[in-house]
């Protein structure tokens, strides 16, 4: 048994990645599935379509590589976080489509909790802001909408879970109703300090605790797959939410290590060690990972628009034909111009949390053109990361040097990563292994199986592709960032 199968179940597609005994990705299969938008601000997934995509990609990657399921030492799962599923214990039929993390339908429930005085209690116990982003209010909404569902849940007939829980339940034929500490910490129902589901929050939300999964370490025995799915039973041995899996895949195991993933948006996590740090700058406190019963915590900040700004250049403005052209175009920008884009296309994320403001471009001249817009779009990602960087350093003023490791599609752009280093005034490390999210889940499973090394051994395998160091003078850096801050305030004030 020399292989690990990592299931990376994302928001728009599912990927199955096969890793060999040396933790090298040797095969990948991917399948997209539909998104459903029944109303403005509502986003849903059909859980049967998600399930079908998981089974199909797992079978495909094994078949394409000529690997038998008997050659697998284990399965690791990483998943879109906060997306909420409720299904029948008898048979596993979902009672409603999954409500996706992006969904905003529970704003009124959040306002009700705030009016009832629960906000500070929830923030202290969970480390999260009172926001529709998280799973707890989504469960409440489903139970409110589906007739008789709350009494069925109280009777133990209905189960709740994030996507990892639903997949494990299906993979094991209903034998395992479990999750891991990272996914539990994103539900807004889990006390991250006590390491248990919070009865007080469940009561405030009217969510029966009978429907909650058992919480395990990220590396643990989650159950055995049914033999008919892959051919033989395979143990599920590792689970982590996608951003935590990327943190693990980047080997950010020491306090002060930070990873930033650049996809459509950007998610940055800073390892703060064994003590949860309460944010005074509207960041989230979350579980980075949990091994051997010991949680390690992180501060997290999210940016709504990162790679989406490049997509806007391509699809909205038509100034590039492919995202890979953005860096080359930005290099052609007139250095005498200072065009600035605040990409608040869907509002601003951390640390502002201003969902209703909209984007703007500043500093346009008659000579401004595609090159200047490309540079402004790419630099906006660096500026927004600087916002998170400053908030994290203010919340966690430890003397430990902060190491930033980057991954995701935009990290392949040398120009963008150099701009990031320049505006942070810090080194930015890009790894050779770009499959960090799947690798994180794969390493958890492989370590639990005894195939892969422990934390120290895994960290030693992390390999640098390129380190970007600041080339911009400190005075220019700070002047540029001050201008960005003024632009953001102008957008918020509109």
The DSSP code sequence of 415-478 is HHHHHHHHHHTS-EEEES---HHHHHHHHHHHHHHTSS--HHHHHHH--EEEEE---S-HHHHH
Residues 229 and 377 reside in one and the same domain:
no
Rounded to the nearest 10 degrees, the angle between the axes of helix 107-115 and helix 119-126 is 110
Residues 65 and 188 reside in one and the same domain:
yes
Give me the pLDDT at residue 55, please: 97
Query: What's the mean pLDDT when you consider all of the chain?
Result: 92
Nearest to 230 by CA among 463, 462, 18, 440: 18
Q: Which residue has the higher pLDDT, 452 or 434?
A: 452
CA separation for the pair 149, 427 (Å, rounded): 52
Rounded to 5°, the CA angle 28-3-74 comes to: 100
CB 294 within 8 A of CB 223: no
Say what the alpha-carbon torsion angle 392, 275, 165, 447 is, to the nearest 10 degrees: 100
Full domain range(s) for residue 100: 3-233
pLDDT tens by residue, 235-258? 999 999 999 999 999 999 999 899
User: In sequence order, what are the residues at sequence separation of 6 or more whose Cβ sits closer than 8 angstroms to the Cβ of residue 396?
Assistant: 270, 272, 277, 299
CA separation for the pair 200, 217 (Å, rounded): 23
b/e per residue 306-340 (b: at least 16 CB within 10 A): bbbbbbbbeeeeebbeebeebbebbeebeeebbbb
- Whether the pLDDT of residue 1 is over 80: the answer is no
pLDDT tens by residue, 95-117? 999 998 888 888 899 999 999 99
CA separation for the pair 473, 478 (Å, rounded): 9
Residues 279 and 307 reside in one and the same domain:
yes
Q: How many domains does the chain have?
A: 2
* CA contacts within 13 A on the Cβ side of 271: 27
For residues 11-28, give the mean pLDDT. Answer: 93
CA separation for the pair 485, 494 (Å, rounded): 14
**Cβ-defined contacts of 23-26 (< 8 Å, 24+):** 23/439, 23/442, 23/443, 23/446, 23/452, 23/458, 23/461, 25/433, 25/435, 25/438, 25/439, 26/65
CA separation for the pair 51, 147 (Å, rounded): 25
Residues 136 and 177 reside in one and the same domain:
yes
In which band, very low, low, confident or very high, does the pLDDT at 409 lie, cut at 50, 70 and 90?
A: confident
**299 Ramachandran zone, left/alpha/beta (phi>0; psi -120 to 50):** beta
CA separation for the pair 382, 367 (Å, rounded): 24
Domain end call among 233, 251, 277? 233
CATH number of residue 206's parent domain = 3.30.420.40
CB 441 within 8 A of CB 240: yes
pLDDT tens by residue, 268-295? 999 999 989 999 988 999 999 999 999 9
Domain end call among 233, 266, 296? 233
Give me the pLDDT at residue 320, please: 84
Residues 183 and 251 reside in one and the same domain:
no
Give me the pLDDT at residue 400, please: 60
pLDDT tens by residue, 324-371? 888 888 889 888 888 999 988 878 888 988 877 888 999 999 988 989
Tokens of 254: 């020491």
At residue 50, the 3 state secondary structure works out as helix
Tokens 């951003």 belong to: 243
Tokens of 352: 């502002």
Give me the pLDDT at residue 399, please: 61
* CA contacts within 13 A on the Cβ side of 373: 19
Residues 41 and 88 reside in one and the same domain:
yes
Residues 266 and 169 reside in one and the same domain:
no
Tokens 């006590």 belong to: 194
For residues 394-401, give the mean pLDDT. Answer: 75
Phi, psi torsion values for 371, nearest 5 degrees: -65, -40
Give me the pLDDT at residue 401, please: 65
Residue 342 is inside which H or E element, if any?
A: strand 340-342
Residues 249 and 185 reside in one and the same domain:
no
CA distances, 137 to each of 130, 201, 260, 395, 440 (Å): 9, 11, 27, 27, 29
Residues 140 and 254 reside in one and the same domain:
no
Residues 409 and 492 reside in one and the same domain:
yes
CB 471 within 8 A of CB 266: no
For residues 395-417, give the mean pLDDT. Answer: 83
CA distances, 351 to each of 241, 356, 377, 423 (Å): 21, 14, 19, 17
CA separation for the pair 215, 222 (Å, rounded): 10
Residues 152 and 127 reside in one and the same domain:
yes
Domain end call among 233, 268, 296? 233
Residues 261 and 209 reside in one and the same domain:
no
Tokens 């409603």 belong to: 96
Give me the pLDDT at residue 494, please: 60
Rounded to the nearest 10 degrees, the angle between the axes of helix 47-65 and helix 163-171 is 60
pLDDT tens by residue, 171-215? 999 999 999 999 999 999 999 999 999 999 999 999 999 999 999
Count, residues in the chain: 494
User: In sequence order, what are the residues at sequence separation of 6 or more whose Cβ sits closer than 8 angstroms to the Cβ of residue 253?
Assistant: 271, 296, 455, 459
In which band, very low, low, confident or very high, does the pLDDT at 76 lie, cut at 50, 70 and 90?
A: very high
């Amino acid at each position: 048994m020399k292989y690990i199968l990592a299931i990376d179940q994302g928001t728009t597609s599912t990927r199955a990645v096969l890793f060999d005994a040396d933790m090298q990705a040797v095969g990948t299969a991917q399948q997209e599935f539909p998104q459903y938008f029944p109303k403005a601000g509502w986003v849903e997934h059909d859980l049967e379509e998600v399930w079908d995509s998981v089974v199909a990609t797992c079978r495909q990657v094994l078949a394409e590589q000529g690997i038998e399921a008997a050659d697998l030492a284990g399965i690791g799962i990483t998943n879109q976080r906060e997306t909420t599923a409720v299904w029948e214990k008898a048979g596993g039929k979902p009672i409603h489509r999954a409500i996706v993390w992006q969904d905003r339908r529970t704003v009124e429930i959040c306002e009700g909790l705030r009016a009832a005085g629960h906000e500070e209690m929830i923030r202290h116990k969970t480390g999260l802001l009172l926001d529709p982003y998280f799973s707890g209010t989504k469960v409440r909404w489903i139970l409110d909408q589906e007739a008789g569902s709350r009494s069925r849940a109280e009777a133990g007939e209905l189960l709740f879970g994030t996507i990892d829980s639903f997949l494990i339940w299906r993979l094991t034929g209903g034998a395992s109703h479990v999750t891991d500490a990272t996914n539990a910490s994103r539900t807004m129902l889990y006390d991250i300090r006590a390491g248990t589901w919070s009865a007080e929050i469940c009561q405030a939300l009217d969510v029966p605790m009978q429907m909650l999964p058992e919480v395990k370490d990220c590396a643990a025995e989650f159950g055995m797959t049914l033999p008919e799915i892959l051919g033989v039973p395979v143990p599920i041995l590792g689970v982590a939410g996608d951003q935590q899996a990327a943190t693990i895949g980047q080997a950010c195991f020491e306090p002060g290590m930070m990873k930033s993933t650049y996809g459509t948006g950007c998610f940055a996590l800073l390892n703060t060690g064994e003590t949860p740090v309460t944010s005074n700058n509207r960041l989230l406190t979350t579980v980075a990972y949990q091994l051997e019963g010991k949680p390690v915590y992180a501060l997290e900040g999210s940016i709504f628009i990162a790679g989406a700004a490049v997509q806007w250049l391509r699809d909205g403005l038509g100034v590039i034909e492919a995202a890979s052209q953005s860096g080359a175009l930005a290099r052609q920008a007139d250095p005498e111009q200072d065009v600035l884009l605040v990409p608040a296309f869907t509002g601003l994320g951390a640390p502002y949390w201003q969902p209703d403001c909209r984007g703007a471009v500043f500093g346009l001249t008659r000579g401004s053109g595609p090159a200047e817009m490309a540079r402004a779009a790419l630099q906006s990602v660096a500026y927004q990361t600087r916002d998170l960087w400053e908030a994290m350093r203010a919340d966690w003023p430890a003397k430990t040097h902060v190491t930033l490791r980057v991954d995701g599609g935009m990290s392949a752009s040398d120009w963008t990563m150099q701009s990031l280093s320049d505006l942070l005034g810090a080194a930015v490390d890009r790894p050779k292994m770009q499959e960090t999210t799947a690798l994180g889940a794969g390493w958890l499973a492989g370590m639990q199986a005894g195939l892969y090394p422990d934390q120290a051994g895994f960290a030693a395998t992390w390999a640098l592709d390129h380190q970007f160091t600041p080339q911009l003078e400190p005075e220019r850096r700070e002047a540029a960032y001050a201008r960005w801050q003024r632009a953001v305030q102008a957008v918020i004030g509109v």
